[in-house]
């Protein structure tokens, strides 16, 4: 076991690996799910050199379980919200070469980190990568761990599929080269609180000048889409309008991107509110959309408004 800054490096041979890979997980309201995710992470063929977890509150993590993992685990507290919690992780990444952000309900294939190491070693111009989500429970009732493992066991592994350029990494699995982040000390924008919807787009686009952003089919996993701990329909609906317009004003995205995203969500919420089904609160989201549009017309639109919405 070797110590380098804040990172504890572990390898089977006792030698320092070529790249130091840290896995960061921001979590809220999913204590049991997080423990299962951490256990699954220990099945990686190439273990992470450290795991850093940022819970929204002390009740969101079992510290004894986290510290019993086969690799070094650090718990860092940040202000509640995905952006703030991920920033707390970045602040203690130390000498890491690569930081991999997983959602607390993301189940990676066993070779995920090994493929990350290969990809970033072979392509020094890549600064951001995201993988293939083999199944995503976010669009339905969610996926259980046993089902996720069965899906990955039956998965063909993406053989023959080519890497392609990407506009941004998908938030449930984002891989970053730390040198690119350190170049301008890039951080997630905490103006977008709580769920921080579209913070992955904003962060990735601000790194685009540093190198390539890619989608790699070799990086595979299942997003459980666990419903507990998610932002309310009302707040999320407000963010569906406020956050794209905020990013447009920042210059992170263009007007067509923002317009397509907002109109697509408005249409989905309007249609879905006529026939409510499943666990998606379309009526709550539509109400949030309408509040945001009204406040836009009054010149009061702000991503942080969701902190005062019930």
Identify which of 27, 73, 89 has the alpha carbon closest to the alpha carbon of residue 224. 27
At residue 8, the pLDDT reads: 39
pTM score, two decimals? 0.90
pLDDT tier at 226, thresholds 50, 70, 90:
confident
Q: Which residues pair with 216 in a beta bridge?
A: 131
Cα 271 from Cα 83, distance rounded (Å): 31
Collect all residues with Cβ–Cβ distance below 8 Å to 43 and sequence separation of at least 6: 110
At residue 139, the pLDDT reads: 77
pLDDT digits 0-9 by tens, 70-121: 999 999 997 899 999 999 999 999 889 999 999 999 999 999 999 999 999 9
Helix (H, G, I), strand (E, B) or coil at 141: coil
All domains in the chain, ordered by first residue = 2-223 (3.90.550.10), 233-308 (no CATH)
Q: Which residues pair with 174 in a beta bridge?
A: 101
Averaged pLDDT score across all residues of the chain? 91
Collect all residues with Cβ–Cβ distance below 8 Å to 170 and sequence separation of at least 6: 130, 131, 133, 200
| Mean local confidence (pLDDT), 150-170 | 93
pLDDT digits 0-9 by tens, 254-278: 999 999 999 999 999 999 999 876 6
Q: What are phi and psi of 163, to 5 degrees?
A: -65, 145
Does residue 182 register a pLDDT over 80?
A: yes
Does residue 15 register a pLDDT over 80?
A: no
Cα 170 from Cα 175, distance rounded (Å): 10
At residue 97, the pLDDT reads: 98
Place of tokens 């800054």: 5
At residue 269, the pLDDT reads: 95
Q: Please state which of the ranges 18-32, 126-140, 274-288 shows the lowest mean pLDDT.
A: 274-288
* Percent of the chain whose predicted confidence (pLDDT) is above 90: 82
CB-neighbour burial class of residue 29 (10 A; exposed 0-12, middle 13-18, buried 19+):
middle
Collect all residues with Cβ–Cβ distance below 8 Å to 156 and sequence separation of at least 6: none
User: With the C-alpha atoms ordered 152, 163, 204, 245, is the resulting torsion angle positive or negative?
Assistant: negative
Does residue 227 register a pLDDT over 90?
A: no
pLDDT tier at 158, thresholds 50, 70, 90:
confident
Does residue 11 register a pLDDT over 70?
A: no
Tokens of 3: 């110590």
**Do residues 112 and 129 lie in contact, with contact meaning Cβ atoms separated by under 8 Å?**
no
Which helix (H) or strand (E) segment is 203 a member of? helix 199-207
Cα 88 from Cα 96, distance rounded (Å): 15
Does residue 3 register a pLDDT over 50?
A: no
């Amino acid at each position: 076991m070797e110590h380098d800054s804040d990172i504890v490096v572990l390898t089977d041979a006792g030698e320092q690996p070529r790249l130091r890979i840290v896995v960061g997980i921001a979590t809220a309201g999913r204590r049991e799910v997080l423990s299962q995710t951490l256990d699954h992470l220990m099945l990686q063929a190439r273990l992470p050199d450290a795991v850093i977890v940022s819970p929204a509150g002390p009740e969101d993590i079992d510290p004894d379980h986290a510290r019993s993992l086969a690799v070094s685990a650090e718990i860092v507290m940040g202000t509640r919200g995905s952006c703030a919690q991920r920033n707390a992780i970045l602040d203690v990444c130390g000498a890491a070469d690569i930081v991999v952000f997983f959602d607390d309900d993301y189940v990676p294939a066993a070779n995920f980190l090994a493929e990350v190491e290969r990809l970033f070693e072979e392509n020094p111009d890549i600064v951001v990568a995201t993988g293939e989500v083999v199944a995503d429970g976010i669009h339905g009732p969610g996926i259980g761990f046993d089902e996720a493992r069965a899906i990955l066991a039956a998965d063909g592994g993406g053989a023959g599929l080519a890497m392609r350029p990407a506009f941004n990494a998908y938030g449930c699995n984002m891989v970053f080269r730390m040198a690119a982040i350190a170049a301008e000390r890039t951080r997630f924008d905490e103006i977008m609180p709580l769920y921080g919807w579209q913070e992955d787009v904003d962060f990735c686009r601000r790194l685009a000048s540093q190198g390539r952003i890619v989608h790699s089919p070799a990086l595979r996993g299942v997003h459980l889409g666990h419903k507990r701990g998610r932002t309310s329909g009302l707040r999320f609906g407000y963010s569906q309008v406020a956050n794209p317009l905020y990013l447009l004003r920042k210059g992170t995205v263009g007007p067509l991107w923002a317009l397509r995203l907002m109109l697509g969500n408005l249409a989905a919420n309007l249609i879905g509110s006529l026939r409510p089904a499943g666990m998606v609160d379309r009526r709550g989201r539509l109400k949030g959309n309408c509040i945001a549009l009204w406040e836009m017309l009054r010149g009061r639109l702000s991503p942080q408004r969701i902190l005062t919405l019930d």
